[in-house]
A and B are shown apart, each in its own frame.
Chain A
Amino acid sequence: MSAKSPPKKKSWSWRSQAFRGLLYQLVAIAAITAVVWFLAHNTLYNMKVRGIQSGFDFLSGPAGFDIGESLYPFDSAQPYWQAFVVGLTNTLRVAIVGIILTTILGTLLGIGRFSRNALVRGLCYAYVEFFRNVPVLLQLLMWYLFFTEALPAAAEAWKVGPFFLSKGGLAFPVPVWASGQFWAAVGLLAGAVLALVYRKWALRRFEATGQIRSMFWVPLAICLGVSLLGWAAGGAPTAFDYPMMGEFAIEKGGSLTPEFLSVLLGLTVYTAAFVAEVVRSGIASVAQGQGEAAAALGLNPGQSMRLVQLPQALRVIIPPMTNQFLNLTKNSSLAVAIGYPDVVSIANTALNQTGRAVECIAIVMLVYLVTSLSTSLLMNWYNSRAAIKER
């Protein structure tokens, strides 16, 4: 017979550990609040006494400066807060594309360390050791120097088909916007949904009958096919805006500036070295018996890695991977050294034109905090999905 334990008495005395713990927490919170309040109050008081104006009202005034590159047109008469938004889109542009590229490159490098080919193993090892140990600012400067020194001037740009590569960046033809592109994009989304539905169905058929169906090529074909249908439905537009040689530089068409390319490639190559090590440690953490068992079941090394080892390695890979994604996002603030107008560069300009140093730095900190927290939340959700479900 199990006896019920006596109910715990709440005693508010010094000898109660729970009471003491609560008291210490309250005192710690009060101390932290006092320090923060003291810092804020002191700053505001000093600024007022010295006649330094403060406040966020400057955000609604006209910016008065142009931004070298942006996703959408920005005019200098627009308010400062819109300039900050443009800076934010520039940062996100580099961060998102960078994260995707660095994951792909890093994973390939990490897996390459386990290759049976000694040359591949050696190259991956050399890559990681070199790019991990050179400071990232130097790497960005190196890439920028390459783009501005090694490439020819715009007047003598290298022409490959309709593409131009020069000191002015990579110029490519952009489709002239008509409704056809919009329907093509809609078709792509619809195709993606259909492809996922197909994959679920194919998985169910496999588990019922054991018959393997293509899980990659057929869904891809579905995506592209529906997208093509959308494009055709929208009038099948084929007009492109081709870049052309102007008086001093390439005109028309779309272009990726050397600043954007340097930041992107520099950060991708640097962070991929770290991601490679994270992936390698994840794969090494999977018991060797798993690989042997997979081989015994008749899976080839590629399938064994893809279906057995990597999914188990994900548990170890994802938390440090989050770190690397956040590092890449925050390292993009170094873009200000090579002329890419990210949010730090815009904040610098705003700071110097308005003198509101504390406010501008606070905005930049907030932007990075929100971006980093969103990335962490997303990765934590993915982590909980990849975790082994305990019973």
Chain B
Amino acid sequence: MKSYKLKALLAIVGAIGALLAAPAHAGKTLDGVKARGQLVCGVNTGLAGFAAADSAGKWSGLDVDVCRALAAAVLSDPEKVKYVPLNAQQRFTALQSGEIDVLPRNTTFTLTRDASLGLSITVPNYYDGQGFMVPLKSKIKSAKQLKGQTVCVQSGTTTEKNLTDYSKANGLGIKPVVFEKLEAAENAYFTGRCISYTTDASGLASTRNKVAKDPKEHVILADLISKEPLGPMVRRGDDEWFAIVKWVMYGMLEAEEYGVMQSNVDQMKSSTDPVVQRLLGGGNEDTGKLLGLDKDWMARVIKAVGNYGESFERNVGPKSPLGLPRGVNNLWNKGGLMYAYPVR
């Protein structure tokens, strides 16, 4: 009789719990971050130039700079970040469930991801395209020569679909060899299992630099077969947090446009240029208040990671180990696609 009562009690509690179940994080991300005192950031498991930890466990990269910028804006300290490494399969579920606050993980913005996952795309921090890497001695000059060949690719990315579309459009009959882990796909290409490896062009440069025994033995073909705008994603239903992430990105671009750098932020705070004042909280301007932050939000961001150009040069630019050209990632008035909405 006692066990019957206990079971009945448990069933009733379970039913009440079901009725009261409410989503934990809609509209509350900023409050959660402030209460926790830490930003939980989902990043790549290890992609040099975008998000990689060194031997001491210190993270660096273009996407890591986004995390640090957000932490500087919201928590006043760029080091108050918990990095959660995620592979291609886990990344969206981690964001949907509330495990992480933001996902800057070189994720391509697509309709499916914006519309059907309960997530929102924000602002791209890198415009990329999908390319192919082949060994130099194969003498392949164009992707169209890959007729009927095997190509290594990582599962869970837009790469597979783009490869199929390209193969079909050009009648190539490419045979994909699909691996769950990035490292397995890279290894299979470098041991010679596949004649080619395909992913975003920035990923190819990163891989060739990090994994290849002799980077000069591998060629990244010039054909880019798709558009891959990469950037951070956030959950739907929290417009406040969405605005903060968006405007931190635009702020970094606007800073580069107006010459605000990590080295001159303190002097620029006392500038009389109204645009710079609105950006850095000089004079009586306080754009941060409208976002739910304070007036030094952008000044802290630039002090922590620099403007977009500095972040780019440091992580993936021509002088970095990846050696990628600024190309389409330059500012709009210098021939690129980076167009910041006005911070005012």
Given A69-B175, A148-B192, A337-B184, CB of A76 within 8 Å of CB of B150 = no
A248 touches B193 (CB 8 A): no
- Report how far A338 CA is from B183 CA in the complex, Å: 11
- Report how far A65 CA is from B163 CA in the complex, Å: 8
Which of chain A's residues have a CB closer than 8 A to the CB of B193? 147-148, 167-168, 258
Given A64-B165, A251-B148, CB of A337 within 8 Å of CB of B179 = yes
A354 lies within 8 A of chain B by Cβ: yes
What interface size band does chain B fall in? 35 or more
Which of chain A's residues have a CB closer than 8 A to the CB of B138? 248
B17 lies within 8 A of chain A by Cβ: yes
Which of chain A's residues have a CB closer than 8 A to the CB of B343? none
A249 lies within 8 A of chain B by Cβ: yes
B160 touches A349 (CB 8 A): yes
Number of interface residues of A (CB under 8 A): 57
B318 lies within 8 A of chain A by Cβ: no
A42 touches B155 (CB 8 A): no
A348 lies within 8 A of chain B by Cβ: yes
Given A153-B192, A249-B150, CB of A50 within 8 Å of CB of B118 = yes
Given A68-B178, A352-B88, CB of A50 within 8 Å of CB of B23 = yes
In the complex, how many angstroms separate the beta carbon of B179 from the nearest chain A beta carbon? Answer: 5
Number of residue pairs across A and B with beta carbons under 8 Å?
A: 146
A352 touches B156 (CB 8 A): yes
Contact with B along A235-254 (1 / 0, CB 8 A): 00000000000101101000
B195 touches A23 (CB 8 A): no
Which of chain A's residues have a CB closer than 8 A to the CB of B4? 23-24, 27
Which of chain A's residues have a CB closer than 8 A to the CB of B264? none
Q: Which of A33-41, A117-125, A282-290, A299-307 contacts B (4 or more CB under 8 A)?
A: A33-41
In the complex, how many angstroms separate the beta carbon of A148 from the nearest chain B beta carbon? Answer: 4
B211 lies within 8 A of chain A by Cβ: no
Which of chain A's residues have a CB closer than 8 A to the CB of B3? 24
Q: Which of B5-13, B38-46, B269-277, B295-303 contacts A (4 or more CB under 8 A)?
A: B5-13
- Report how far A349 CA is from B235 CA in the complex, Å: 22
Which of chain B's residues have a CB closer than 8 A to the CB of A66? 163-164, 167, 174-176
A353 touches B112 (CB 8 A): yes
Which of chain B's residues have a CB closer than 8 A to the CB of A348? 89, 155-156, 180
A386 lies within 8 A of chain B by Cβ: no
B56 lies within 8 A of chain A by Cβ: no
Which of chain B's residues have a CB closer than 8 A to the CB of A52? 96, 116-118
Please give the residue numbers on chain B whose beta carbons come within 8 Å of chain A beta carbons, in ascending order: 1, 3-4, 7-8, 10-11, 14-15, 17-18, 21, 23, 26, 88-89, 92-93, 96, 112-113, 115-118, 138, 148-150, 152, 155-157, 160-161, 163-165, 167-168, 174-181, 184-185, 187-188, 191-193, 195, 235-237
Please give the residue numbers on chain A whose beta carbons come within 8 Å of chain B beta carbons, in ascending order: 14, 23-24, 27-28, 30-31, 34-35, 37-38, 41-42, 45-47, 49-53, 64-69, 76-77, 145, 147-149, 153, 167-168, 246, 248-249, 251, 257-259, 336-339, 341, 345, 348-349, 351-355, 357
> A-B pairs with the 4 shortest C-beta distances?
A50-B118, A52-B118, A51-B118, A352-B156
Given A28-B7, A38-B15, A67-B176, output 13 extra A-B contacts at Cβ < 8 Å.
A31-B10, A47-B118, A51-B237, A65-B164, A145-B191, A153-B192, A167-B192, A248-B149, A259-B177, A337-B181, A339-B184, A351-B156, A354-B112
